[in-house]
Amino acid sequence: MYQKNRSAYRTAILGILTAIIIIQNFVPLLGYIPIPPLNPTIIHITVIVVSITLGTKDGMIIGSVWGITRMIKAFTMPASPFDYFLWRNPIIAILPRILVGFVAGYTYNVLKKRVAKDSTAMIISSILASLTNTIMVLGLIYVIYGETYASLLEVDYSNLLGVLGTVVLTNGVGEAIAAAVIAPIIARPLKKFSMQNLKKP
């Protein structure tokens, strides 16, 4: 009975959060803040919540949904020149999103065994997962499309690392702070709810 309840709960939560991810990708302001060139995101928070609540594997699944949906949007509703090469590449669009789920879930599982407070483990794992997304996306952009990206930004390629570093210190840190605050607030009651309901016969 426990396994049946767990499977039903997991399926329901994954379905709801998959729908939320899709809506966040396609509805303006719900998933991305329109600050060019990369537009800061809050979608990573949904992935982190899944990783903490349901586990690393499910977080990686939701992360892949995020990446695939972002690719679909780039093909069907391109909003800027960056959509034509950055977000149509699965290495940039999908891989970092999967790693968000992995880092959030793995870090949380390790830390909750070593720190006194569960909330501390949630905060640290949220920060690291958020920074993983920012650093991976920007790093892959630099490696794969550095010169093209610099040209679109109208900066010299030799200065691109400095520009990307500034993005990490602004957008990246802002996203990490948002994740550290919001993800534990959502994940804590979800974990409590799941534990209470999975214990029921």
CATH code, 83: 1.10.1760.20
User: Do 10 and 58 meet the contact criterion of CB atoms below 8 Å apart?
Assistant: yes
Q: What angle do CA 60, 67, 160 make, to 5 degrees?
A: 115
Distance between CA 165 and CA 26 in Å, rounded?
A: 28
Range of the domain at 117: 4-198
* Tally of domains within the chain: 1
How high is the pLDDT of residue 14?
84
Given a cut of 50, the residues of the chain with pLDDT beneath it are: 201
Distance between CA 92 and CA 140 in Å, rounded?
A: 6
User: Do 140 and 95 meet the contact criterion of CB atoms below 8 Å apart?
Assistant: yes
How high is the pLDDT of residue 192?
78
Fill in the DSSP letter of residue 169.
I
Which one, of 10, 2, 15, lies nearest residue 53 by Cα? 10
How high is the pLDDT of residue 30?
67
